[in-house]
Structure 1
Amino acid sequence: MTERPTPDLEIIETRVYRGANVWSYDKSIHLVVDLGSLEQFPTNTIPGFSEDLVSMLPGLREHSCSRGRRGGFLERLNEGTWLGHVAEHVALALQQLVGHDIRRGKTRQVKGEPGRYNIIYGYIDENVGLSAGRLAVKLVNHLVEGDPDFDWETQRDEFIRRAERTAFGPSTQAIVDEAVSRDIPWIRLNQYSLVQLGQGVHAKRIRATMTSETSSIAVDIASDKDLTTKLLGAAGLPVPKQESVRSADAAVAAARRIGYPVVLKPLDGNHGRGVCLDLQDEDDVRAAFPIAEGQSRRGNVIVESFVTGKDYRCLIIDGRMVAIAERVPASVTGDGRATVEELVELTNADPRRGVGHEKVLTRIKVDEAALEVLADQGHTLESVPAEGEMVKLALTGNMSTGGISIDRTFEAHPENVEIAEEAARMVGLDIAGIDFICPDITEPVREAGGAICEVNAAPGFRMHTHPTIGEPQFIAKPVVDMLFPPGATSRIPIVAVTGTNGKTTTSRMIAHIFKGLGRKVGMTSTDGVVIDERLVIRADASGPRSARMVLQNPRVDFAVFEVARGGILREGLGYERNDVAVVLNVQPDHLGLRGIDTVEQLADVKAVIVEAVPRDGHAVLNADDPLVREMRRKCSGQVVWFSMEEPGSEVRDMIDAHCRRGGKAIVLNPTERGEMIVVQHGRREMQLAWTHLLPATFNGRARMNVQNALGAAAAAFAAGAPLHDIRQGLRTFSTNYYLSPGRLNEVDVNGVNVIVDYCHNAPGMRMLGDFVDRVGDSLASSHDLARPSRIGIIATAGDRRDQDMIDLGMVAAQHFDVCIVREDVALRGRERGATAQLVLDGVHAAMADGARCKQAELVVEEIEAVRHAMSRANRGDLVVVCVDKHAEVMSELENWSDTAQAGSTSNPDAPSADPDYTPPAADAE
């Protein structure tokens, strides 16, 4: 053990999970940290550490930690805990410091790496969460050994300012909080206030208090104060006299016609900028004109009669008044001792005041306009107002200039409420701020005097949600009610599909079934993003970002996501929950990557989609896979089993017991006519389809697609699809190139049978090899003169383990007469030829043990490998191409054939004469 600790804590790796992940049900930040020498120094061995930490962050006293009670974390500090655990709690405390109520966190040691820890904690704003983690590490190191360049107060204040810059404003946050309370999902679309509420076809957008229902014309009208006044006046509503001018002389002339005192304000300004009140003569008007003109985007200035009284803001949402606030201009109250400047400093010290809109009140700014207002009252900054004297520092009551608000919602006269609601209707705004100037809102404006001086689009909610005096009004509720009326749907059904093999085909089957139901399906897969049958992005789209793209598309009313383990480990799911989770299988693939070294760990990763199933959702699980079977314990909803095992087996007995308790399952029942897919629900059994009548199964020989069809049928059944639509979907789904590119596509090239598939690992090769054996045997029986050859072009990705590559070659050698080994374009960290050589080594090892393969060749480039295979193939031979770039391969095959029918699903053994047989649908583009 070293004699004294040194500040060695450092962040090795950072990940941001934007949805459910292997560590948490909710979005989280994951830091991998190295303690270095600090691994030998728990907190109780570092003098003064705990006391200094708590003095800097008093909020840590509230942390319960694993003790489950207030002060539990302090107990852990005093007993001795490791500094990675401390960094977790500091990151949470820092977020709580800026109002983010996050309490989820955990710290676990990295297996097999002493001194390294996984720190996981929740976040609301991603940038704030990451900054909190970095500052937490700096603070812990500083407390271990003081850093003269580290100033805690400066670092803390900078963190707070950064959080305030990225945070939602009060209005946006109020609406988002209300949506969350109703289980309405939301997505932040930019770094500002543009937010999507809901998913897909149900989505609505807000930007501050403007919504996707807000009329652009209405906003333009409200921005034109002259037009607004004319419209309101034409409706018989009380408005001041006004004229629009473009010069100081014209303003003076208009003021004479209207009569002094007058107000000058920009035609299209906001937040009270450029508004000059109570102008008594020509000199005042000429002095005020450049101020108003400077805030006008079009250069027009409004001259209107000055209406005396108090300033009231009436908030109208969806045609109804929901809140009224009296706005009091920025001011200070004298105490007979302090100067105006001192009183302003004292007022700004209120913790509720901040810069801009990030807090409920804004600091009073002493600028030239404020000094002029002071001078008009006979004061300067050095003046000492008498006790109780109110000294104004602004003429308008806008909160953005330091004003305060008093809630008057339940005091307004009904006639004034009607006037405000009518004004919003005349302009056409769904959310409008109607500004009244009148002596008292409790008396009718038409009798007491006063007028509507302005109609505002996108009015701020801060004065109503956080009034300085009075009760807060929960005005986000009517906004969300307007966007999502009671009973309205905000979510679209989400089906997530994962597994080692078969994910893409199963996803396509499910999407095809629901397309037949008339749904606008958004699907992600390793081939790209498909919206309503149209490929909009060509890329590996099996990750969380692609899922969010689908959820943002306004056409989509049903989502099918292929979920790969890489995306889960990198960013989580990217969405909150899925209604149906399908797990096909878990096989030893992608091991040795991102800390996943065993198939059991891989199963835990894939089980994330099962954990994301809500109570009213379903997990569709392959009962034939022991690792998948165990995932039933992680499901909050119902389990739907599917199985290829025969009746009487142990698995089928388990399924039968499950169904007797009211459960659901999709199974295979063998009969004299073939295998029948059967739906079991409770004690009922319903026949779905013969496997040999499903084009994708190649007369039942493609056992992997039989399994995929079972999974797809179970998912569709769980998602509410009628049985006849599931049947029709499976009968019309084929593996032609247009419906399922790169997945068991069959092509006839001048009498050579070519199968194009994506197989790239040993478990998948076993399934493909079984299919090759079944198809090869049927080809052999139809050619009496010579046995057809089986030629396989095989490859795998470069990020697999060496043994996985060797295993692929060994399995392939059992099923092909000739193995041609190629490589993918992306080498994934290996030298060119290294991956192919390992696969070739596996083929040679199997050949030495007497495998079927009699010849193995290395042709690294994919297209060259295809050309080589086709040049040596004879009529009647079977060529299987395990592809990387399927489009290029299909194009090359077309070049080889003068009668090629790319995408054909012709099958000489398909029982087309059967009256129950439904031929595949025509290829759709």
Structure 2
Amino acid sequence: MKILDIRTITGPNVYHHRPVLIMSLELESLAEIASTDVSGFSGRLISLLPGLKNHHCSLRHSGGFVERLRNGTYFAHIIEHIAIELSEMSGIGVSYGKSVYGGAVGKYLIITRYRCEEGMKFLLQSAVKLAEKLVFGESFDLDTCIKNTKNIISINELGPSTRAILDAAKKRNIPWRRLNDKSLIQLGYGINRQFIQATTTSMTSDISVDIAKDKNLTKKLLEEASIRVPRGRPAYSLEEAMEIREEIPGFLVVKPIDANHGRGVTVNLSSPEEIQSAFHLARIHSDIVMIEECLKGKDYRILVVGGKMVAASERVPAHVIGDGELCLSELIENENRNPLRGIGHEKPLTKIVLNIETETLLSKSGITLNSIPKKNEYVFLKETANLSTGGIAIDRTSEVHPDIQSMCERAVRIVGLDICGVDLIAEDIRLPMSSQSGGIIEVNAGPGIRMHHHPSFGVVREVGSAIINNLYPNNSNGRIPIIAITGTNGKTTVTRLLSHIIAASGKCVGTTTTDGIYINNIQVAHGDTTGPISARTVLTDPCVEVAVLETARGGIIKRGLGYDWSDVGIFTNLAEDHIGQDGIECLEDILKIKSLVIERVKAGGAVILNADSKEIVGLTLDPRSEMHTKKLTYFTLDANNIVIKKHLANGGHAYFVRDGEIFEAQGKIESSVIHINEIPLTLGGTAYFHAANVMAAIAGAHAINISDDIILKSLTSFSQKLNLGRTNLYKIGRGYLLLDYGHNPDAFQSIGEMGKRWNVDKITGVIAAPGDRADEIIQLLGETSAMAFDKVIIREDVDLRGRDKGIVAEILRQSILARKPQISCEVVLSSEEALRKSIDEMQTDELVIFFYEEIDVIEKIIMELGAIPSEDTSLFVKNLDERSKRGNAWLQYSY
């Protein structure tokens, strides 16, 4: 078997609403082989992975997978279950897996959820290796596989502080995204975006962090503020350290000037030899060494968030308690077996590691690792009380004296940190500092909060929630309004029109469309940007107050959605397009993909559906849409549409067109919004499909509380220059040129019917079909063109999408002539030549409709040919019941 690739989908997707991994696998010689075809395979697999006996599989009962295995199932399915079982054994168990046909014989996609991306990738690869080994009767080193996976998980998992903050964010429904393989996290969207990395946030001052790192500067600032700190100063040499020793009576502390986690810190020193040894240890971590008096008392950590104390802990250095039987080394081993202790920060407590500091401390006490401590005798193994060196914490939050709380909060204000850990030495935290010895020995930027969430004794303090409250006060969820638009045709127009309306309300809009990304009406990226990466670009920009996201099929299939929930989901229409692409075989497949946009509208959000499509209306009955939790609005071009009549009878909300006028209705109450003739986008009311787009946009704007006044003004100011490449009309030569991006039968029919309502003598269609569409769709495009246009020129896209040159054009030509043998139809493969030919041969009052591939190229050519943007309303038939001068009755637009 051969793994082709493993890709990650981080957002909701067509397989699952949570992140998944997709492994593309070529089964090669095992393509048509079932489990029953390999002698002894099933037995070997179950023997190695007995947990498979509990897998339900599609039979939905324990043991279901084993039944499938023994009755014969294929290897893609087997590997899916192996990967799931390995994940369970590795501590990142996932319950979802799926194997699907990958578009070619022997090629499959294996989809699994994941909790640790890199760990699950490794397990997918391991599942393939395991299956191969067992097929050939070879052994597989399962223990090493699990061990390696756990190492990968340990390296890649989030730290405890970040995890605690994220847990609090999730409770508040704040969206988040991991930005790297460390702990850098984006919280919130757009203007509400914040960053965290452990307990450092986007509100943390870089200057304040530098101050906190410089222990001498910090001490100076606090001392100037009349806050008690230990005497001492930095030493740049051993000689200077010895001088400071003479200046300060009593015991000393020697530590690096800018280290953390207790690294290089030695306490309770007095002799020159001890000072010398400690100085050299500190110099390993910093060129400058602090020499300070050693304050007497207990070691406390006060956590201050947003200027207020939120937790306090007493920290106790790493130690063991004797039982009168075991020697010291055995006691340490027992303590390290404590399930709460792990390596580094992986668990609430850290394993105790013996080092030179431990040896020195034990030597001072006359104890060795072979000594047997008395029962209940405390043996301290470290002098510093950091959790990272094996210490424990006792919650003292409720005991802190108000004077001490005030002093610590003031110290943090002076340094300027939003989140700060204050290290305090005091005899008793319940008493005011004025009545005891002690003082603040350090302030720490980015303090660990593990001790507060996992105290060894005392009350758990949810300080992650305090940090989230500081980042997002007033119970904010960090979100901005998100409007997602999907459908076959009209997505770009609705997206642009909605963005135009919302921008008119004074909001900064972030927009993704097929022609680029726009932030506050400024284009920041070019190209088709309708996928999740583009959506995240908008949602990461701190200027954006509202996101309007065109959301197309391709991005959904390949990468899922770029957001978790939207406030508004719009489904413009549904037509046969993309058949033959990405495994899409029918209209139902397209519906299933695009319906994800509706499924991911939040509870209480607005769903806006085209009532003229029975398939789209059917989504309201799909349990995945959870429509009972959402506000449903329909729009229709037919005021007598039975769907909206029933919907309104039940008190629902809808928009419809009656006598050329758009109406809004809620239950029995209806009101006129605007006549479609007044909207430039509808080209004098002849572009019925744009009337549908307008209703979708109005509904979307209303859903986020844009006023009627702003909506109406925006509808009348939305000119064709704001909708580039969509029904753009030009005066050129002896007639008119219309540019449009239509590329499916429905679009060709709609544009053709619109042209038949105009005062033109002849309509020429310059058409093409994407090469990756199924032959049947290309043939339907040809048949539609034959009926829509008087003359057809067939061009070909530059991107042939896997076809040989001329093949698509020939399919179109044959289908056109088969439908209408008498029509003028010729093939001019070059887009530029086809355009020039259509203009050169243009008759008086002829309309050429050019369906383009690249708008920039075509615009340049038509400008050279003297094209002028036209708003000539004399072209448009005001009364849609009239016949055009061509004598053809206009056809009622339908999807």
TM-score w.r.t. length of structure 2: 0.90
Q: Are 1:658 and 2:624 an aligned pair?
A: no
1:44–1:80: 8 Å Cα contact kept in structure 2?
no
1:791–1:817: 8 Å Cα contact kept in structure 2?
yes
Matches within 5 A, 1:881-920: 881-897=850-866, 900-901=867-868, 903-909=869-875
For residues 364 and 79 of structure 1, the distance between their equivalents in structure 2, rounded to whole angstroms, comes to 48
1:110–1:117: 8 Å Cα contact kept in structure 2?
yes
| Counterpart code for 1:317 | V
For residues 325 and 93 of structure 1, the distance between their equivalents in structure 2, rounded to whole angstroms, comes to 41
2:58–2:64: 8 Å Cα contact kept in structure 1?
no
Matches within 5 A, 1:322-471: 322-334=310-322, 340-381=328-369, 385=373, 388-471=376-459
- 1:784 — aligned with what? none
| Counterpart code for 2:460 | P
2:302–2:312: 8 Å Cα contact kept in structure 1?
yes
Structure 1 residue 870, shift from structure 2 partner: 2.9
Structure 1 residue 823, shift from structure 2 partner: 2.5
Partner secondary structure for residue 316 of structure 1 = strand
Structure 1 residue 142, shift from structure 2 partner: 5.3
For residues 115 and 877 of structure 1, the distance between their equivalents in structure 2, rounded to whole angstroms, comes to 53
Matches within 5 A, 1:580-619: 580-619=568-607
Structure 1 residue 893, shift from structure 2 partner: 1.2
| Counterpart code for 1:18 | T
Q: Are 1:705 and 2:690 an aligned pair?
A: yes
The partner residue of 2:460 within 464, 469, 472 is 472
Structure 1 residue 14, shift from structure 2 partner: 4.6
The partner residue of 2:113 within 122, 134, 137 is 122
- 1:783 — aligned with what? none
Q: Are 1:24 and 2:16 an aligned pair?
A: yes
Structure 1 residue 168, shift from structure 2 partner: 0.9
| Residues 633-678 of structure 1: CA deviation (Å, up to 9, x unaligned) | 233212211111243xxxx2331221122111110001xxxx0000
1:844–1:856: 8 Å Cα contact kept in structure 2?
no
For residues 424 and 633 of structure 1, the distance between their equivalents in structure 2, rounded to whole angstroms, comes to 57
1:321–1:417: 8 Å Cα contact kept in structure 2?
yes
- 2:268 — aligned with what? 278
Structure 1 residue 707, shift from structure 2 partner: 1.9
In structure 2, relative to structure 1, the CA distance for the partners of 1:172 and 1:228 (3 Å cut) is: same
Matches within 5 A, 1:739-888: 739-775=722-758, 778-780=759-761, 789-848=762-821, 850=822, 853-860=823-830, 862-874=831-843, 876-888=845-857
For residues 37 and 396 of structure 2, the distance between their equivalents in structure 1, rounded to whole angstroms, comes to 59
Q: Are 1:294 and 2:284 an aligned pair?
A: yes
For residues 238 and 871 of structure 2, the distance between their equivalents in structure 1, rounded to whole angstroms, comes to 81
Structure 1 residue 210, shift from structure 2 partner: 1.3
Structure 1 residue 792, shift from structure 2 partner: 2.9
2:90–2:146: 8 Å Cα contact kept in structure 1?
no
- 2:125 — aligned with what? 134
Equivalent residues, number? 866
In structure 2, relative to structure 1, the CA distance for the partners of 1:643 and 1:715 (3 Å cut) is: same
1:693–1:911: 8 Å Cα contact kept in structure 2?
no
2:686–2:876: 8 Å Cα contact kept in structure 1?
no
Structure 1 residue 385, shift from structure 2 partner: 4.8
For residues 835 and 409 of structure 1, the distance between their equivalents in structure 2, rounded to whole angstroms, comes to 75
Structure 1 residue 835, shift from structure 2 partner: 3.0
Partner secondary structure for residue 757 of structure 2 = helix
2:172–2:475: 8 Å Cα contact kept in structure 1?
no
- 1:922 — aligned with what? none
In structure 2, relative to structure 1, the CA distance for the partners of 1:275 and 1:832 (3 Å cut) is: farther
Partner secondary structure for residue 589 of structure 1 = coil
The partner residue of 1:268 within 258, 261, 277 is 258
Of the structure 1 ranges 440-449 and 722-731, higher mean CA displacement relative to structure 2 is found in: 440-449
For residues 147 and 328 of structure 2, the distance between their equivalents in structure 1, rounded to whole angstroms, comes to 27
1:44–1:77: 8 Å Cα contact kept in structure 2?
no
Q: Are 1:308 and 2:296 an aligned pair?
A: yes
1:755–1:881: 8 Å Cα contact kept in structure 2?
yes
2:262–2:384: 8 Å Cα contact kept in structure 1?
yes
Structure 1 residue 335, shift from structure 2 partner: 5.0
For residues 135 and 889 of structure 1, the distance between their equivalents in structure 2, rounded to whole angstroms, comes to 52
Q: Are 1:642 and 2:630 an aligned pair?
A: no
For residues 410 and 45 of structure 1, the distance between their equivalents in structure 2, rounded to whole angstroms, comes to 62
- 2:247 — aligned with what? 257
- 1:555 — aligned with what? 543
For residues 459 and 737 of structure 2, the distance between their equivalents in structure 1, rounded to whole angstroms, comes to 75
What runs of 5+ residues in structure 1 fail to find an aligned partner?
1-7, 781-788, 913-925
For residues 401 and 418 of structure 1, the distance between their equivalents in structure 2, rounded to whole angstroms, comes to 29
- 2:36 — aligned with what? 40
For residues 79 and 795 of structure 1, the distance between their equivalents in structure 2, rounded to whole angstroms, comes to 48
What runs of 5+ residues in structure 2 fail to find an aligned partner?
879-895
Structure 1 residue 909, shift from structure 2 partner: 4.8
TM-score w.r.t. length of structure 1: 0.87
Instruction: State the percentage of identical aligned residues.
Output: 36
For residues 63 and 241 of structure 1, the distance between their equivalents in structure 2, rounded to whole angstroms, comes to 65
Matches within 5 A, 1:58-73: 72-73=61-62
The partner residue of 2:500 within 478, 491, 512 is 512
| Counterpart code for 1:827 | L
Partner secondary structure for residue 454 of structure 1 = strand
In structure 2, relative to structure 1, the CA distance for the partners of 1:629 and 1:43 (3 Å cut) is: farther
The partner residue of 2:213 within 223, 232, 235 is 223
- 2:228 — aligned with what? 238
In structure 2, relative to structure 1, the CA distance for the partners of 1:443 and 1:153 (3 Å cut) is: farther
Of the structure 1 ranges 93-102 and 675-684, higher mean CA displacement relative to structure 2 is found in: 93-102
Matches within 5 A, 1:145-224: 147-148=138-139, 150-224=140-214
1:308–1:450: 8 Å Cα contact kept in structure 2?
yes
1:91–1:133: 8 Å Cα contact kept in structure 2?
yes
| Counterpart code for 1:40 | T
Structure 1 residue 512, shift from structure 2 partner: 1.2
2:813–2:825: 8 Å Cα contact kept in structure 1?
no
Partner secondary structure for residue 62 of structure 2 = helix
In structure 2, relative to structure 1, the CA distance for the partners of 1:278 and 1:45 (3 Å cut) is: closer
CA RMSD of aligned residues (A): 3.0
Of the structure 1 ranges 822-831 and 477-486, higher mean CA displacement relative to structure 2 is found in: 822-831
Partner secondary structure for residue 159 of structure 1 = helix
Structure 1 residue 42, shift from structure 2 partner: 11
1:742–1:886: 8 Å Cα contact kept in structure 2?
yes
For residues 593 and 380 of structure 1, the distance between their equivalents in structure 2, rounded to whole angstroms, comes to 73
In structure 2, relative to structure 1, the CA distance for the partners of 1:514 and 1:603 (3 Å cut) is: same
- 1:4 — aligned with what? none
Structure 1 residue 97, shift from structure 2 partner: 5.4
| Counterpart code for 2:655 | I
For residues 541 and 118 of structure 2, the distance between their equivalents in structure 1, rounded to whole angstroms, comes to 25
2:36–2:69: 8 Å Cα contact kept in structure 1?
no
